[in-house]
Structure 1
Amino acid sequence: MSWFRRKRKPTEPKNADEPCTLPREVVDACMSYLSGRTRDLKACSLVCKVWSHAAQHILFNTVFLTQSMSKYSRLGKALQRSPHLITHIHTLTLHRDDRVKTSMFESICMQPFTHLDTVTIVHSNPMDIATAHVLGQLLSLRTLRRVDMDCYFLEPTIFPVIWETCSPTVKHLDLRTCSGTLDPIPSLVHTAASKPVMLDSLRLGRSNNIDVWMAPESSPFDYSRLFILSLETSQAFSRWPRVTPNRHTIESLDFSAHGSVGVDLSLFPNLQFLRIHSISALSAGKVRNCLITITPACRIQQIVLRLDLPRVYMCEQMDFQIVKLPMSQLPSVGIETVDVEYDYWALHFPKLRARELLHRTNPNWFETRIERRDAILRRPP
């Protein structure tokens, strides 16, 4: 009997050729705990095909290239050896200065991205016309939804070139620009054949000659459906003839209290969210003048205040003024700060606290408003 046991061939298990794999949803959930741990994800990608797909999806979902030729080169080689990796890239950030050759920067921009949703471009060098055309090709991708751009131009006429072939799917723009001249420019040439980019949201950071980029009739953007508007200052957009007629579409508004021109909130009949930043002792009076323009017809549901070097009396004055707003239902008020500071400054908004209308907010309001707006648009009719 012992001889028979030694000679008997081991029986093959059923489905021996089929590997035991977990459903992709389970693997993805497990891998999510390793997000940010590059070495562990690389090790997991070597286990089996299902694990490889999940690990690569996390590794390449967000690609961030700093001002380093080696990182540009490594990404280019990885996509050349394994073209399927490009399907995992949803967010791409490109930083470019003198250390990154033009050819390397352009080679990444010209990759055939299939699922790219968000692009961030930080271009420290003066942009030339050739690079503008290359960026235009990148922005022509039909999957693209958000663009964040921080660029420097010697020639203002280069700026519209970027948008001539822009995909109509681009709805959200975060823009900071700098031109090499402070002289006023009468007009910019925008190709008549190219359709202006219809934006749902626009955030403008600090820029010189902002009217050159945004205000003229030849601007590459269409503001007729603008729902979210964020401005570093309040003075520029009061002079934009193309924005003024469309203020009724704006539901979320953000601006700096340091602007020299006040904002009349009664001109925004559908405004639901208001954020005022850079509030200090010097600008508190402008904030109060802005709040005075709120009428009983206003539909504001939330006001967010970002305080810079606040004073106790300043907080108490705003607390009193907001509680006295002529609205049937007062908006909630968020103080944009960290937990420790909030606990202190919240004491100086006693009336709002007593009505349970005061809370702390995070600085990622812009992304939150975009996500909410997109969720509304995705709802079935």
Structure 2
Amino acid sequence: MSSNPLRIQELLDLCIAFLSESPADLLSCSLVARCWVNAAQSERFRTPHPISVRSRSEPDRVARKFCNALSKSPRLGHHVRELSMGNWPTLILNLDPVIFTHLHTLRFIIKNVSLSYDLYRPLLSLPTLRTLHLDTSSRFSASVKFLALCPTIRHLDLSCREDYEESQADPAFSLSEKPAFIRLMSLQLAISGGEDPMQHNINQAALYPLDISELKALSIWGSSMIRWDSLPQAAQESIRIVDSNFWLGKLDLSPFKSLTVLRLGMIQGGSAESDVRCTLASISPSNPIQIVVLGLSNGLLRYNKEECAQIDRILLSLASGGVRVELEFHLETRGAEEKVRDWFPTITVENKFHLVYRSYGMRIRELLSSL
């Protein structure tokens, strides 16, 4: 063991871990001794202090400071594992000299993908990139074609706009007819509505260049225009997690031969409770489902109590058969368990459920880790 306490690896690891949430303290650590520089910089730039992506035009102070630091010292790019950026062309251009050797996760807000092809190519084509979160105002078909820039991603979170009939043909993204080459393991898809939207297939042709034949997790939010039955058979048989946050119809679970985790989000009002009940009731004893998650609104006040009573009995039956039942909130609501007892009394009395809190961003990652 070194006689110099500054060179004791255990001490260094403890200090860096304790101060990992404080960029200012990590900077101070890098000035303690030469042997502390690499460890402090690695922790500081591994997952940069959260950069606001709310502004689609002007970069915030943290983003500008971070990008300036990287552009002045391009070698710091070796430490970066995750990067969150808004629609800020100037700052992104400043990152051109930075060498990202370990970057695996990107989060972008891009207003118009048709105008951003060349700007984002250097970052999206990195061979280490595995996860992409893309929030865009562009249409679904254009957004999917834009993904040809990132052939190595395995996990995609895409938020885009509904297609119109006339927007399907986009000459800016003409691709040759080749086999799909982006093999996804998980897909989160959120499509916001518009005037006269068209129905969206999620088959191989509509998703080119994405290959979903070996998909493990599928999450769909917010559109009644997505045809679940358009999934290719290979994807239906490989998917182990199905997640829908805005449920607008009963889902036929019979094609999902390997389904292990089912998450259904109950929105307030409409027929969501009935659709959830019908979907849960269709689960057969031979189904391999191990976890059922019911995502609940924090209010619970507008739910159909009669439908909830029926859901309660179905959940108890599933739990008695060995299925783990989770009732999920997105905020730690005061008295959440008491509210659950009112709406789902049977499963509560039998103590057959698990009350969990998850943020929207953590949902799929946590569920994937359960596999």
User: TM-score, normalized by length of structure 2?
Assistant: 0.81
Q: Distance in 2 between matches of 1:352 and 1:284?
A: 17
Aligned residue in 1 for 2:310: 317
Cα distance per residue 1:72-107 (max 9 Å; x no partner): 5544442343232111111100012xxx4x343233
Partner of 2:326: 334
Amino acid in structure 2 at the alignment position of 1:250 = I
Q: Quote the residue 1:293 is aligned against.
A: 282
Counterpart AA for 2:363: W
- The answer as to whether partners of 2:186 and 2:218 remain within 8 angstroms in 1 is yes
Partner of 1:119: 106
Helix, strand or coil for the counterpart of 1:217? Answer: helix
List per-residue Cα deviations over 1:21-50 (Å, max 9, x = no partner).
Answer: 334454123211112222222222111122
Give the match's secondary structure for 1:153.
strand
CA contact (8 A) 2:204 2:232 kept: no
* Contact map agreement 1:225 1:246 (CA 8 A) in 2: yes
1:108 match = 95
* Deviates further, 32-41 or 140-149: 32-41
- Tell me if structure 2 keeps the 8 A contact 1:331–1:357: no
Return 344-353 or 50-59, whichever deviates more: 344-353
Of 132, 157, 164 in structure 2, the residue corresponding to residue 182 of structure 1 is 164
1:278-320 CA-partner distances (Å, limit 9, x unpaired) = 3435321111111121112111111111223424544332111
Root-mean-square deviation over aligned CA pairs: 3.1
The change in CA–CA distance for 1:86 and 1:25 in structure 2 (over 3 A counts) is farther
Alpha-carbon shift at residue 345 of structure 1 (Å): 2.5
| Structure 2 CA distance for aligned equivalents of residues 333 and 69 of structure 1 | 42
* 1:276 corresponds to 2:260: no
Structure 2 unmatched ranges of 5 or more: 53-57
Match in the other structure for 2:148: 164
1:93 and 2:84 are equivalent in the alignment? yes
2:114 maps to a residue whose letter is: D
Q: Secondary structure at the match of 1:174?
A: strand
CA–CA distance in structure 2, aligned partners of residues 204 and 79 of structure 1: 32
| Distance of aligned partners of 1:31 and 1:293 in 2 relative to their CA distance in 1, 3 Å threshold | same
Deviation at 1:204, TM superposition (A): 1.0
Distance 1:319 1:109, change over 3 A: farther
Give the letter for the 2:309 counterpart.
E
1:62 to partner: Cα distance: 1.7
Compared with structure 1, are the counterparts of its residues 262 and 103 closer, same or farther at alpha carbon in structure 2 (3 Å cutoff)? Answer: same
8 Å CA contact 1:24–1:50 kept in 2: the answer is no
Gap runs ≥5 in structure 1: 1-14, 374-381
Distance 1:140 1:198 in 2: 15
Secondary structure of the residue that 2:91 maps to in structure 1? helix
Letter in 2 for 1:90: R
User: What secondary structure sits across from 2:102 in the alignment?
Assistant: coil
Whether the 8 Å contact between 1:132 and 1:159 is mirrored in structure 2 is no
3-state DSSP class of the match of 1:229?
strand
Cα distance in 2 for residues equivalent to 1:117 and 1:29? 25
- Output the CA distance in 1 between the equivalents of 2:13 and 2:7: 10
Number of equivalent positions:
346
1:365 and 2:363 matched:
yes
Give the AA of the match of 1:353. Answer: T
**Normalization by structure 1: what TM-score?**
0.79
Aligned position for 1:81: 72
Distance 1:336 1:109 in 2: 42
Matched, 1:343 2:337: yes
- CA shift in 2, pair 1:58/1:151, >3 Å: same
Structure number, greater radius of gyration: 1
Aligned to 2:55: none
> Is the aligned partner of 1:47 residue 2:32?
yes
CA contact (8 A) 1:211 1:236 kept: yes
2:187 corresponds in structure 1 to: 202
Tell me the CA shift for residue 354 of structure 1.
Answer: 4.2
- Report which stretch shifted further, 288-297 or 236-245: 236-245
Cα distance in 1 between the residues matched to 2:30 and 2:192: 44
Deviation of 1:199 (Å): 0.6
Report what 1:173 is aligned to.
Answer: 156
Residues 188-217 of structure 1: per-residue CA shift (max 9 Å, x gap): 643345743111001112334686695561
